[in-house]
Structure formats: structure tokens, C-alpha cells
Amino acid sequence: MHKQHCVPLVFASVFATTVCAAGSVPERFDFGPGIGAAYTQERGHGFVSADGLRDVPANGNAAFKTGALTSDKPFFFAVDLPEGNYDVTVHLGDPSAASDTTIKAENRRLMLESVKTAKGAFIARTFTVNVHTPPIAGTFKNVSLKPGEADSANWDGRLTLEFNGPHPSVAGLEIRRNDSALTVFLAGDSTVTDGPREPWTSWGQMLPRFFAPGTVVANYAQSGLTLSSFRRQNRLDKILSTIKPGDYVFIQFGHNDMKEKGGGAFTTYAGNLRQYVDAIAEKQGKPVLISPMYRRRFAKDGSLVDTLGDYPAAVRKVAEEKKIPFIDLHAASGRLFVALGQEKSKAAFVHVPANTYPNQPKPIADNSHFSNYGAYELARCIVEEIRAVVPELAPRLAPDVGKFNPGQPDAPSAFAIPPSPPARDLIKPEGS
């Protein structure tokens, strides 16, 4: 950022100390006092919704002298940003009360989990987030987005932050581009994607919380896709256009591939995996293959039924052949669901009574897609596998990430990550 080209701007409770020429990055925002300024395209930043926001006057210890903004319900702040990776430092706290803030980015990516401060105390926490757009650099191609994707927070050319929790409170934030961040790209289907709507969630959108600043997750997975359709939609080309030497690409498909006509696990599917691995290696990236997780299906005797046939074995075979890391999420998820048991495992999937969400007159019993709890537990499985089979990536995990045994999962009743505000209409992810 060239400060000589920057000018100060003030909009209600949002004070951008260095907002630069069009296309550049606001360096710092102070929040409060007053009602939060709404986002507009002309302004390029602001609150997507200021409903329920309250300003808290600053005290002498506040890191951001304009005070803080708080609410009893989630609120969102957005800022236009060019495609890239960004370090975001948030200053959290409330001069007048204890605070408890969880932060999600874009399509509900979990970035910070339950950051607590005492009354009058403030804390600065940093995370690294990816912003991406459809155009593919160096070509005339775009990622072929599905209906609804173009308007989602993942593809709209701005960074959207969700402040959630029992008492979220933010005093300010700083955003700085980080072109040297290590990127972990994700390629996959609905079990990996950044799901835009509650109550469906994937391990891919929980994974960012488990990495320390300087490592970023760029999730290009999308519901309903196979290895073939992911490539046809130019999503692999998008990854290859932005990958740096040493970046990782985690690849997990299978649930939809097994339903494609022609070929099979050890022919078409394995061949597609080899093509992905070779293309990534050619760019000096590091491919990591992941076997697809179990669906929730139990036999009459209470044993877990494997519905994926040879597909997990095919992933292992290609990984061994190519001498690359293999994350056996199939085995880990099996241990997880068996440990939970037939009844408690419903908590890991989307099983909700009628009228839990707006415009939901019928109950939902989805045994392929995951709840926030289930997605979080699967992300913990991925993290343990990183420690075991991708040890060079393990030092980049967040320092507060403890060990996890899929055979001894967290109790569903103890899970406390708050859901995002519900959408007006529930749309089940594609695939099964």
C-alpha cells in the first residue's frame, strides 16, 4: 500500500484510517460510536446489516479509541477486495461487559472460535483468509458457477465477515494482503464445499479454524460435482492458475463419481485422480488424496454399512502409486460414526424436526450431508491425518489445536459453535 495515495474517510461508526484508490485495500477500520454504516458499492465497505448493533464508548484501555460495536445477534461487515490472500487482525472486546466472539468469513468459513474477553479487556487475533473471483488469470475463461453461486459471498469480489456468539463485540480490524501465505486448496463435492446455508456444513469450511495465521484455505469444492465435472467447470484450471510452488491441494471426491455412468473406481475415477495429481505436480504443488467418508447407514445389527464400494481403495491405490500423502477419511469417519452409534450419529448429519428453520414444514433426515457438529468432527479427523501423513504441514496448525481420537468424539451436547442466521429458504445440497 502506498500511503501517499491514501486519504482518510469517515462513515458513521466505521472509520477507515487508510482507504486507498479504487482496487486497493483498506488498512484499518475503527468501529463505534454511532450506528454502523451500511455497505454500498460506492463506499466499498460497511455493515451488511446493522440491525441490533450497539456502540460502546471507548475507555482509556481500548486499543481502538473510537470504542466498539456489539450485538445480541450475529452481524456482518463487508469490504471490497481484489482476489488474493489477506491477513485479518480483529480487535475484540467490550469496555462495559465480557465478550464471546466467533468469526466466520465468506460462506460461513470458521476462522476464530469463541474468543472470550473479560469486561474492559481487549484482545487482537489474526487469521488469513482467501478471496477469489471467477476469472482465470492468463486466459479468457471463468469458473463456470452454478445457479446461486455468483451471488454468494464466496464469489462476489468482497470479503464478508460474520461476528457471532453469545456476545460478539469488535473494536476494529486491520486487513493486509499476504502474497506469501501458504495455500491449502480444496477440490471436492458437497461434503467439502463452503455450504452457504444452515444447517448443511462441510469439513472444508471448518478447516480454516485449525490453521495458524500465514496458512490459508482456498475452497473450490461445490455440491454435486465429480472429478470430471469439477474439471469441466474450470475449477481445476482456477487452482492451477493461482497455485504457488509448495502449496497443497486436498482432493476428495467419490460420492457422486460412483453414480456416473461408464467406467468405475479403478478405471475412470482412478484415471481422473492421476490427471489431477500430475497437473498439480507440474506446477510444483503438493497433491494430497483423501478417501470419501462414510454415509450414515446402519444394518439391523447396528453395524455401519459401507456404501462406497471400491472408491476408497482406488484413492489409496493412486496415492501409493504416485507416492503422495493419503488421508484415509473413510476409515476415520467410520470410527467416528461407530463410536457415536446409530442414534447419536444423527447429530453429525442434518436431522432436524419440522419447522426448525423458516419455510421448513417437513422434517429433514439427510444421511449424506453434515451438521455443524459433524463437519467440525470430520475436520478434526483431517487435522489428525495431517499430523500423521503430512507432517511438514503440521507445524502450521493453530497452537490451540489439541489431539483428537475419532473413536472418542466430542459429545454433541458440548458443541457450542453458533449457527449462522438461517436463510429464507432451505436448499438441500446436490449429491447424496
Tens of pLDDT, residues 306-331: 999 999 999 999 999 999 999 999 99
Nearest Cα to Cα of residue 322 among 281, 284, 291, 292: 281
**Cα gap 332→401, rounded to integer Å:** 18
Residue 254 CB coordination number (10 Å):
27
pLDDT tier at 14, thresholds 50, 70, 90: low
User: How far is residue 12 from each of residues 8, 33, 339, measured CA to CA in Å?
Assistant: 13, 8, 52
Task: Give me the CATH topology for the region 180-414.
Answer: Rossmann fold (3.40.50)
pLDDT at res. 59: 64
Assigned C-alpha cell, 72: 445480541
pLDDT at res. 402: 96
Pick the range with the lowest mean pLDDT from 14-18, 41-45, 423-427.
14-18
Burial of 264 (0-12, 13-18, 19+ CB in 10 A): middle
Burial of 369 (0-12, 13-18, 19+ CB in 10 A): buried
- Percent of the chain predicted with pLDDT > 90: 79
Residue 61 pLDDT more than 90? no
pLDDT tier at 64, thresholds 50, 70, 90: low
Which H, E and C letters describe the chain, residue by residue?
CCHHHCEEEEECCEEEEEECCCCCCCCEEEECCCCCCECCCCCCEEEEECCCCEEECCCCCCCCCCCEEECCCCEEEEEECCCEEEEEEEEEECCCCCEEEEEEECCCEEEEEEEEECCCCEEEEEEEEEECCCECCCCCCECCCCCCCCCCCCCCCEEEEEEEEEECEEEEEEEEECCCCEEEEEEECCCCCCCCCCCCECHHHHHHHHECCCEEEEECCCCCCCHHHHHHCCHHHHHHHHCCCCCEEEEECCCCHHHCCCCCHHHHHHHHHHHHHHHHHHCCCEEEEECCCCCCCECCCCCECCCCCCHHHHHHHHHHHHCCCEECHHHHHHHHHHHHHHHHHHHHEEEECCCCCCCCCCCEEEEEEECHHHHHHHHHHHHHHHHHHCCCCHHHECCCCCCCCCCCCCCHHHCCCCCCCCCCCCCCCCCC
pLDDT tier at 423, thresholds 50, 70, 90: confident
Assigned C-alpha cell, 52: 441490533
pLDDT at res. 65: 56
Q: What is the pLDDT of residues 204-215, one digit of tens each?
A: 999 999 999 999
Pick the range with the lowest mean pLDDT from 18-27, 124-133, 172-181.
18-27
Residue 12 pLDDT more than 50? no
Assigned C-alpha cell, 206: 471448518
Assigned C-alpha cell, 191: 461434503
Pick the range with the lowest mean pLDDT from 62-66, 118-122, 126-130, 233-237.
62-66
Cβ contacts of 214 within 8 Å, gap of 6 or more: 87, 128, 178, 180, 181, 182, 396
Q: What is the pLDDT of residues 17-40, one digit of tens each?
A: 444 444 455 578 888 665 568 888
pLDDT at res. 263: 78
User: pTM score > 0.95 for this model?
Assistant: no
Residue 431 pLDDT more than 80? no
Residues of the chain with CATH 3.40.50.1110: 180-414
216 vs 67, which has greater pLDDT? 216
